[in-house]
Amino acid sequence: MKSKWLFFDIGSTLVDETEAYNHRIQEMIQITAVSFEEFDCMRIHFAKQGLNGDSEAINHFGLQKTPWHSEDEIPYSDAAETLKALKLRGYCIGIIANQAIGSSARLDAWGLLEYIDAVAASAELGVSKPDKAIFERALDMAGCSPSEAAMIGDRLDNDIIPAAELGMVTVWIPNGLSIYHEPSEFRCKPDFIVNNLSGLLSIFE
């Protein structure tokens, strides 16, 4: 693989957000007649249409979005070892993510920052995925061209499509609600699909 830089999304790519999502849902519905099961079925319904299931379900039920509980996020079990292995193979590691202020501090607390060379986070840069501008800013930070970079993420709409349209190699890791997405429904298909982070080691040798 000719890529020099490997850029990662954070949520549902390096970090498992399941409990954070569930925590927020419980808070949103606690004074409503909506059950967790009803909300869960509705977000899956929207995800199967290639939409952002959580956001669409929140709008469908007319709920008020509550604060995100980042303390509920945990790195996937193979996150650190995969990043370390890729670094040892000579790749530079970057982040392109829609995240609140403090991404680097959270990555450090999770034990991942030591493997990461550049962090392009929406809150700090003032631009969010899927806007290609955040990808271009990250490439500028890295000093590399799109053809020298790969994007790894869970969202076809936010991660794969804009990166592919810029000319980056793309790797889709279907996690969370994105497991219900069908690549053929989107205008760009990922170059590679892996089931977990460890699967990257067979691509980037």
pLDDT score at 50: 85
Confidence band of 135 (pLDDT split at 50, 70, 90)? very high
Confidence band of 55 (pLDDT split at 50, 70, 90)? very high
Q: What is the mean pLDDT of residues 83-91?
A: 97
**Are the C-beta atoms of 60 and 32 separated by less than 8 Å?**
no
Residues 97 and 167 reside in one and the same domain:
yes
Residues 55 and 22 reside in one and the same domain:
yes
Residues 66 and 78 reside in one and the same domain:
no
For the chain, what percent of residues have pLDDT higher than 90? Answer: 91
* 15 has a pLDDT exceeding 90: yes
Q: What is the pLDDT of residues 57-70, one digit of tens each?
A: 999 999 999 999 99
Residues 166 and 97 reside in one and the same domain:
yes
Q: What is the pLDDT of residues 188-205, one digit of tens each?
A: 889 999 999 999 999 999
Question: 52 or 7, which is more confident?
Answer: 7
Domain residues for the domain of 158 are 5-16+73-202
Residues 44 and 88 reside in one and the same domain:
no
Residues 22 and 107 reside in one and the same domain:
no
pLDDT score at 1: 59
Q: What is the pLDDT of residues 140-168, one digit of tens each?
A: 999 999 999 999 999 999 999 999 999 99
Q: What is the mean pLDDT of residues 61-89?
A: 96
What does residue 53 show for φ and ψ, rounded to 5 degrees? -55, -45
State the first-to-last Cα distance of the chain, in angstroms, to the nearest integer: 7
For the packed helices 53-61 and 36-47, what is the interaxial angle rounded to 10 degrees? 130
For residues 130 and 166, give the distance between their C-alpha atoms in angstroms, rounded to a whole number. Answer: 12
Could you check whether the bond before residue 67 is cis, i.e. omega within 30 degrees of 0? no
Residues 12 and 25 reside in one and the same domain:
no
Question: In CATH, what number is assigned to the domain containing residue 163?
Answer: 3.40.50.1000
Which residue, 87, 100, 200, is CA-closest to 151? Answer: 200
Both tokens assigned to 137:
């800013």
159 Cβ partners below 8 Å, 6+ apart? 9, 13, 96, 129, 151, 152, 153, 170, 172
- Number of structural domains (the chain) is 2
For residues 6 and 9, give the distance between their C-alpha atoms in angstroms, rounded to a whole number. Answer: 10
Q: Cβ–Cβ contacts within 10 Å for residue 197, how many?
A: 25
For residues 145 and 112, give the distance between their C-alpha atoms in angstroms, rounded to a whole number. Answer: 25
pLDDT score at 184: 77
